[in-house]
Chain A
Amino acid sequence: MAIVEVRHLTKKFEGNATFAVDDLDLATTEDEYLVLLGPSGCGKTTLLRLIAGLEQPTSGEVLIGGEPMVGLPPRARKIAMVFQSYALYPHKTARKNIEFPLKASGMEPGDRAKKVEWAAELLGITRLLDRRPRHLSGGERQRVALARALVREPDVFLLDEPLSNLDAKLRATARDDLKQFQDRVGTTTIYVTHDQVEAMGLGDRIAVMSEGRIRQLGTPHEVYHDPADTFVATFLGSPPMNIVERDDVLVGFRPESLLPKGVVEPDDDAVSVPFSVHRVENLGSERHLVGTVSGIGADTRVIAMLPSTVSVEVPVDETAEFVIRGADLRFFDKDTGGRTARRRL
C-alpha cells in the first residue's frame, strides 16, 4: 500500500562515539515483506524506530508513500507497530487493547466493535477478547498485538522481533501465522530480527545490517548464495560459511559444499582437498564434521555439513579427500572483505 524509503538517514545518540544508523539508504517495494537482519547493536531496531517516529534522526529523510515524515509524531504516520514485548496495555482486556487505536481515531463505538470482531476473527482470538493480557499465553499475546496493529489499517507494519519472546516450538507455528497474515493483508511490512531462520523464511528481501549500515540487500537466495562480503557470508548460515586465506584473497564455501569425494558430481573448476576430521557431531538430520582443510590456502579449521542421506563413513583423526565444486566457491578481497572476481584454484 505504501513504499517506505529512507535517504542518507543518520542517527547518533548523545554520548555515543559511533553512529547507530550511518548514512543509510533503503527503499521497500510496494507490499513487500522486508526483513532487517543483523546482530544486536547493528542499528536495525533504531532504524525501525526512526521510521516509526519514535526517534528523531540526526540527519536524513524518511518517506512513507512519498511523503516526508521527519518531524511528524508517530501518530501522524499511518503505521502500526508490534513491539518485541507486545506492549499490551496490562490494565485493559484484549478487546479494549485492540479497540484502543480506533478510539484515538474517533471511530463510532458501533464501528469499533465490528472492527475488533473482524480482526479477532482473522487471527482466531475471538474467545480471548475478554481476558486481560496476563491471562494470555505468549502466542495469544502476540495475536492480540497483531490484531491491534491490524485494525488501524496502516500503510506499513513495523514488527520488532515479534517472535523472540516465544519458545522454539511455538516460534515455528507463529512464523507460519505471520506469513499467512501478511499474505492476506498484503501491506508493506518491515520486520526486524536477529534470527536468520526467521529472516530467510519470511522475507521477500533481506537487508543485512552491521554497524549502522546495510551490508547487503537482496532476496534470501541472493544473500545466502551470493553474499556481498565476508560479514554477510559468515553471519548467514548455520554453521556459517568457511573462509580460507589464500595469498591476497579469501576463499569462501558453505559447509554443505564440502563433501566427500564421490558423493558430489565435480564440475570443471572443482577442487579436491585433503580434509582431516577432528570431531563429528551427529545432529540427526545432518552431520557436522569439524576438521582442518589444506590445499586451498593456509591450513584452516572448517566445518563440513553432510545431510543424513549421505551415509559415507568418515573416520575421526584421518585425512580424507573432499571436493568443493567450483560453482560453490566465493572469493573475497582480503583487505576490504568485499566480493572479488572468481579465479581458478
Chain B
Amino acid sequence: MEAPSAATWRRRRRLGRVGLYTLVVGFALFAAFPFLWGAITAFKADQDLYNRDNNPFLFNIEPTMQHVRLLFEGTAFNTFVWNTLVVALLVVAITLLASLPAAYSLARLNLRWGGAMAIAIFMVYLIPPSLLFISLSRMVSFLGLQDSRWALVVLYPTITIPVSVWLLMGFFKGIPKDIEEQAMVDGYSRLGAFVRTVLPLSFPGMVAVIVFSATLSASEFIYALAFVSQTSQKTISVGVPTELVRGDVFFWQSLQAATLLVAIPIALIFNAFLKRFIAGFTMGAVKG
C-alpha cells in the first residue's frame, strides 16, 4: 500500500480541525443555551410568553422592557445586589484573614497536633449545612444577628475557611522552604518573609480562594433562606426567588433578567481569572 502523501496529511489535519471546532462550538452553544433562552424570555411580553402556539425562542410580539423595569422598580433587586456584594466582600476578607495564617502554620510549623488539626478542619466541611443550620440558628440568635445579612457574614466562612485552608496548605507546601529561610537570612522576620515571598508565590491559590468564597456567598441558598427573611437584608440568591414568586405566580421574565444580571458579571470575572483559577485548584491538588 502506498504511504499517504503530504497533501493527504494536510487534508486530514484540516478535517480534524473542522471536526474539533464543530464540537467545541456545539458544546459552547449547549452550555450557553439556557442563558440565551433566558435572555430572550426576559424581554418577552406576557401575551407572547404564555401563548403555547408561539415559538419560545423568538419574539412573536414586540419585545418589552416592562419586566426588567419591574425587577428594578417593583422589587428590592438593587438592595439584594448590594447585600450580596457586602456579604461576599466581607466573607472573602474573613476567609483570607483566617485561612492564610492557618494554612501556613499547618503547612510549615511542625506543630505536634498539626496533622490532627488539619483533619479536624476538614471534618467541619463534611457536615452538610442542612443539618448544621439548626444548631447554628441558636448561635445566630445568641449573637443577636437573626434576620440580618451579618448572620451570613459570620456563617459563610464556616464553609469557605476549611476548603481554603486545605487549598492554601497544598500551595504553601509546594513552595520550597529554602526561599523563606533565605528571606529570613536576608533580613526579614518570618512574617516579612511570608508576605514578601510566600504570598506572591501563592497568588493563584489566593485567587482560587477569592473566587470560591465570592461565588459561594452569591449562590448559597439554605443559610440565606433560613436566617434572613427581611427584604432589606436579603442577598440575590434568596431575594430573587422569594420576591419574584408570589404565591403560585412566577414572574418568569423578571426572574430570567435577574439571573442573567448576576450570571454575566460572574462569568466575566471567572473568565478573566480562568488561568490563575485552574492553576490554583490543580496546583494545590497535585502538590498537596
- Same complex origin of A and B: yes
Name A residues whose Cβ lies closer than 8 Å to a Cβ of B: 14, 52, 54, 73-75, 79-81, 83-85, 87-91, 100-101, 104-105, 148, 152
Q: Contacts A89-B197, A91-B201, A104-B192 given: A83-B186 contact, CB under 8 Å?
A: no
B145 is an interface residue with CB less than 8 A from chain A: no
With beta carbons under 8 angstroms apart, the residue of A74, A85, A91, A105 that contacts B185 is A74
Task: Report which residue of A54, A75, A79, A83 has the largest number of chain B beta carbons within 10 angstroms of its beta carbon.
Answer: A75
Shortest Cβ distance from A75 into B: residue? B187
Chain A residues, Cβ within 8 Å of B185: 52, 54, 74-75, 79-81
With beta carbons under 8 angstroms apart, the residue of A75, A85, A152 that contacts B184 is A75
Task: Report which residue of A14, A79, A87, A148 has the largest number of chain B beta carbons within 10 angstroms of its beta carbon.
Answer: A87
Contact assessment for B178 and A100 in the assembled complex, using a CB-CB cutoff below 8 Å: no
A159 CB → nearest B CB, Å: 12
With beta carbons under 8 angstroms apart, the residue of B181, B189, B201 that contacts A87 is B181
9 residue pairs, one from A and one from B, having the closest CB atoms: A104-B187, A87-B178, A101-B186, A87-B182, A83-B178, A81-B185, A75-B187, A74-B185, A74-B184
A-B contact list, 11 entries, CB within 8 Å? A52-B185, A73-B184, A73-B189, A75-B186, A81-B181, A83-B182, A87-B179, A87-B182, A91-B201, A100-B186, A148-B186
A43 CB → nearest B CB, Å: 18
Contact assessment for B201 and A100 in the assembled complex, using a CB-CB cutoff below 8 Å: no
CB 8 Å contact bits of B165-204 with A (1 = contact, 0 = none): 0000000000010110111111111001000110011000
Known: A87-B181, A89-B183, A152-B187. 10 other contacts (CB 8 A): A75-B189, A81-B185, A83-B182, A88-B179, A89-B182, A89-B197, A90-B179, A104-B187, A104-B192, A105-B187
Chain A residues, Cβ within 8 Å of B176: 85, 87
Name B247-286 residues within 8 Å CB distance of A: none
Size category of the B interface is: 10 to 19
Whole-angstrom CA separation of A289 from B276 in the bound complex: 61
Q: Contacts A85-B178, A87-B178 given: A54-B184 contact, CB under 8 Å?
A: yes
Whole-angstrom CA separation of A91 from B203 in the bound complex: 11
B118 CB → nearest A CB, Å: 18
Provide the main secondary structure of the chain B interface.
helix
Chain A residues, Cβ within 8 Å of B183: 89, 100
Chain A residues, Cβ within 8 Å of B184: 54, 73-75
Chain A residues, Cβ within 8 Å of B179: 87-90
A91 CB → nearest B CB, Å: 5
Shortest Cβ distance from A100 into B: residue? B186
Contact assessment for A91 and B200 in the assembled complex, using a CB-CB cutoff below 8 Å: yes
A3 CB → nearest B CB, Å: 20
Chain A residues, Cβ within 8 Å of B188: 75, 104
Whole-angstrom CA separation of A79 from B182 in the bound complex: 11
Q: Contacts A81-B185, A100-B183, A104-B192 given: A90-B178 contact, CB under 8 Å?
A: no
Whole-angstrom CA separation of A85 from B187 in the bound complex: 19
Contact assessment for B181 and A54 in the assembled complex, using a CB-CB cutoff below 8 Å: yes
Chain B residues, Cβ within 8 Å of A105: 187
Chain B residues, Cβ within 8 Å of A73: 184, 189
Shortest Cβ distance from A90 into B: residue? B201
Chain B residues, Cβ within 8 Å of A101: 186-187
Chain B residues, Cβ within 8 Å of A84: 178
Whole-angstrom CA separation of A89 from B186 in the bound complex: 12
Whole-angstrom CA separation of A75 from B187 in the bound complex: 4
Whole-angstrom CA separation of A233 from B31 in the bound complex: 73
A182 CB → nearest B CB, Å: 18
B158 CB → nearest A CB, Å: 33
B52 CB → nearest A CB, Å: 60
B245 CB → nearest A CB, Å: 50
Q: Contacts A85-B176, A89-B179 given: A152-B186 contact, CB under 8 Å?
A: yes
Chain B residues, Cβ within 8 Å of A90: 179, 201
A90 CB → nearest B CB, Å: 7
Whole-angstrom CA separation of A73 from B187 in the bound complex: 9
Whole-angstrom CA separation of A148 from B183 in the bound complex: 11
A87 CB → nearest B CB, Å: 4
Chain B residues, Cβ within 8 Å of A75: 184-189
Chain A residues, Cβ within 8 Å of B192: 104
A187 CB → nearest B CB, Å: 15
Task: Report which residue of B186, B188, B192, B200 has the largest number of chain A beta carbons within 10 angstroms of its beta carbon.
Answer: B186
Contact assessment for A83 and B187 in the assembled complex, using a CB-CB cutoff below 8 Å: no
Whole-angstrom CA separation of A14 from B200 in the bound complex: 32
Contact assessment for A81 and B182 in the assembled complex, using a CB-CB cutoff below 8 Å: yes
Shortest Cβ distance from B112 into A: residue? A14
A47 CB → nearest B CB, Å: 15
Whole-angstrom CA separation of A46 from B81 in the bound complex: 56
Chain B residues, Cβ within 8 Å of A87: 176, 178-179, 181-182
Chain A residues, Cβ within 8 Å of B178: 83-85, 87
A150 CB → nearest B CB, Å: 12
Whole-angstrom CA separation of A87 from B178 in the bound complex: 6
Whole-angstrom CA separation of A83 from B196 in the bound complex: 18
Whole-angstrom CA separation of A73 from B110 in the bound complex: 18
Whole-angstrom CA separation of A52 from B196 in the bound complex: 20
Chain A residues, Cβ within 8 Å of B196: 100
Shortest Cβ distance from A101 into B: residue? B186
Whole-angstrom CA separation of A85 from B178 in the bound complex: 7
B197 CB → nearest A CB, Å: 6
B184 CB → nearest A CB, Å: 5
Whole-angstrom CA separation of A80 from B187 in the bound complex: 9
B226 CB → nearest A CB, Å: 44
A252 CB → nearest B CB, Å: 39
B212 CB → nearest A CB, Å: 23
B160 CB → nearest A CB, Å: 26
